[in-house]
Amino acid sequence: MIALQRRAHPSRLMGYLAPLIAFVLTLLSGLLLFALLGVPIFEAFHAFFIEPISTVYGLAELGVKAAPLVIIGVALSIGFRAQVWNIGAEGQLILGGIAGAAVALYFYEVDEWFVLPLMILASILGGMLWASVPALLKTRFNVNEILTSLMLTYVAALLLSWLVSGPMRDPDGFNFPESRLFHDAALLPRLLSGTRLHIGALVALGVVVAGWLLLSKTLLGFALRVNGAAPRAGAHAGFSQNRLVWVALLLGGGCAGVAGLFEVAGPIGQLLPNISPGYGFTAIIVAFLGRLHPVGVLFAGLVMALSYLGGESAQITLNLPLAVTGVFQGMLLFFLLATDVLINYRITRKRQS
């Protein structure tokens, strides 16, 4: 019989190895899945992992997809460290997009430098506003933030759907549920001409550095980590639990809001009924895959961005359903959680007594 034996200390080596093992296992199961679907394995592998990043445009797209994942992932990982489970980042992203778009449409055809910064500010506030509801309910009324933040995601999606088919609809748009196209002053500058790579990619790198500094170099970061690892020790040290809940949620909301704006003012360029392919949910996987560490999140974000691109490419070249991406992402998280056991336990053979 195989049994688990607790290690005296968590294994550092396994901390680094586990995500790699999980990734390899996901790859193998993915190939198995392709085989089951009757798809030639090597072509599928090529379409999923090689083709999307074999051109400059493809690499730029990787940055476009990774930017929101990394921005949200870093903020979520800080919250998860403190055991604050904000899983409504998707809703906060939508609110950020709505708020930013509202500014863009209000200043429609105003070609001033201040439009874009104002949009960014609005999106941060929009995301924070949405995240402040679970924070308030958690700190004031002891309501589980998992359920409230998730419920608000559904509300946000419906709000967006109503706005683009009503108040924010393009007046000359033949009743299609979409807003006007943003004018140039409301669009994000591109980093590379001929591609869709925008300054969001640089912001994502900045967020990684800022997240790392916050977690490892500041008292607030220390308080967040202590609160997650040993809440009672944190309480004895005088760290206010409520304050940390607020910080974690507002941080998550703000970052998700900006990510939402980067979608509507970046690759999309207008407000649509659907502005994100589930970035807010995928960012949860990104946070865990990145070991709740900002630098890890950066790499994890790139891996997950590749899974989006791979899914699209496999859909085009092999006619595979887009849902394969979701299956891949779910499997990766499962394998990661499973291999995490190796950090705290070693596998031994049970002696019969």
Binding interface with other proteins (CB under 8 A): 4-6, 85, 87, 133, 137, 140-144, 146-148, 150-152, 154-155, 158-159, 161-162, 165-166, 281-282, 284-285, 288, 321, 323-331, 333-334, 337-338, 340-341, 344-345
Q: Considering the complex, what minimum distance in angstroms separates the CB of residue 195 from other proteins?
A: 28
Tell me how far apart the alpha carbons of residues 111 and 147 are, in angstroms, rounded to a whole number.
42
Would you mind telling me the total number of residues written for the chain in this entry? 353
Please say which residue, 173 or 273, places its beta carbon nearer to other proteins: 273
The one-letter amino acid at 188:
L
Q: Considering the complex, what minimum distance in angstroms separates the CB of residue 326 from other proteins?
A: 2
Q: Considering the complex, what minimum distance in angstroms separates the CB of residue 30 from other proteins?
A: 12
Tell me how far apart the alpha carbons of residues 330 and 120 are, in angstroms, rounded to a whole number.
32
Alpha helices per DSSP H over 85-199? 89-106, 115-141, 145-165
Please say which residue, 140 or 349, places its beta carbon nearer to other proteins: 140
Please say which residue, 107 or 281, places its beta carbon nearer to other proteins: 281
The answer for residues whose C-beta is within 8 angstroms of residue 258's C-beta and 6 or more apart is 71, 96, 120, 123, 124, 127, 203
DSSP string covering 68-85, please?
A: HHHHHHHHHHHHHHTT--
The answer for residues whose C-beta is within 8 angstroms of residue 139's C-beta and 6 or more apart is 242, 245, 246
Please say which residue, 201 or 342, places its beta carbon nearer to other proteins: 342
The answer for residues whose C-beta is within 8 angstroms of residue 326's C-beta and 6 or more apart is 278
Q: Considering the complex, what minimum distance in angstroms separates the CB of residue 197 from other proteins?
A: 27
Q: How far is CA 185 from CA 130, 182, 205, 323, in A?
A: 26, 8, 24, 36
Q: Considering the complex, what minimum distance in angstroms separates the CB of residue 338 from other proteins?
A: 5
Q: Considering the complex, what minimum distance in angstroms separates the CB of residue 209 from other proteins?
A: 26
Please say which residue, 58 or 273, places its beta carbon nearer to other proteins: 273
Please say which residue, 266 or 310, places its beta carbon nearer to other proteins: 310
Q: How far is CA 43 from CA 55, 263, 316, 332, in A?
A: 18, 31, 12, 21
Please say which residue, 6 or 12, places its beta carbon nearer to other proteins: 6
Q: Considering the complex, what minimum distance in angstroms separates the CB of residue 183 from other proteins?
A: 27
Given a contact cutoff of 8 angstroms between Cβ atoms, the answer to whether 271 and 100 are in contact is no
